[in-house]
Amino acid sequence: MRRWALIMGASGDIGTSVARQLGAQGWSLYLHYHRNATQATALAAELAAAYPQQDFLPLAYDLTDPDHLDQVVAQLFGLDAVVFAAGMTTYHLFKDSTVPELTDLMRVHLLTPMALLARLQDKLAQSGTGRVVFIGSVYGGSGSAMEVAYSAVKGGQSAFVHAYAKEVASLGITVNVVAPGAVATKMNAMFDAPALAAVRAEIPAGRFAEPGDVGYYVRMLLAPEAAYLTGQTLYVTGGWLQ
């Protein structure tokens, strides 16, 4: 039977890797993007050519907007899994934060995903093996100076899955966080080479994660056999920080 996953942030580097891994596993995918329609459309075409028996549908939405989610839900038919791989950060002292910036961080990482899940729960329950995975962050556990608000919303994702998992376990739905350390993606493009080298020097594994290192655990958590792990945060950090 066809299994459908919604990947929020499929146009991002981690989301694209998740999409490629799930496509190879036989999933049909809703490929969410915000601004990068080119990447989402190209990814859909790439996957449709590789797996012609499956469906790959781009879907646009701005997660800073929690008010028009019915438009997203109306585009979804069956749904077996949701992966939240969208996100952004800001880098400065917390005392320089603004309310609009804090609002956007909270909406993109927490508020809108939670509001979306409330609408999708019945569909995921109908699946019998519903799966929810957030791409969190090691900073949600360890905290980081200069990314205090980001750390807070990432910790919020872990707190959310911890609680929500208890409410939906009897419906066959698992809810988890995969929390990477430093991943080689465009999200880190704001840092120069010496700053990236300083982080790399702290990572016991001696390198940044590749997006595929993260996608692997998402793929594992979405497997039907992964029915008994829920409410957890899996730290995928090469031994860094946690």
The C-alpha atoms of residue 180 and residue 170 are separated, in whole angstroms, by: 28
What count of other Cβ atoms lies within 10 Å of the Cβ of residue 49? 9
Beta strands in the chain (DSSP E): 4-8, 28-33, 56-60, 81-84, 131-135, 174-180, 233-236
Based on CB atoms, which residue is closest to ligand NAP, 6 or 108?
108
What does the block give as tokens for 82? 């949701």
Q: Provide the minimum distance between the beta carbon of 125 and ligand NAP in the complex, in angstroms, as a whole number.
A: 25
Of 150, 164, 217, 235, the catalytic one is: 150
**Is 33 a residue of the active site?**
no
The distance of closest approach from Cβ of residue 45 to ligand NAP in the complex, given in angstroms and rounded to an integer, is 16
Nearer to ligand NAP, 2 or 35 (CB): 35
Smallest separation, CB 182 to ligand NAP (Å):
5
| Interface with ligand NAP (CB under 6 A) | 9, 11-15, 33-36, 62-64, 85-88, 108, 135, 137, 180, 182-183, 185-188
Residue 13 vs 213, nearer CB to ligand NAP: 13
Distances (CA, A) of 209 to 62, 92, 184, 188, 206: 27, 24, 6, 12, 10
Q: Facing residues of 233 across strands?
A: 177
Which active-site residues does the annotation give?
150
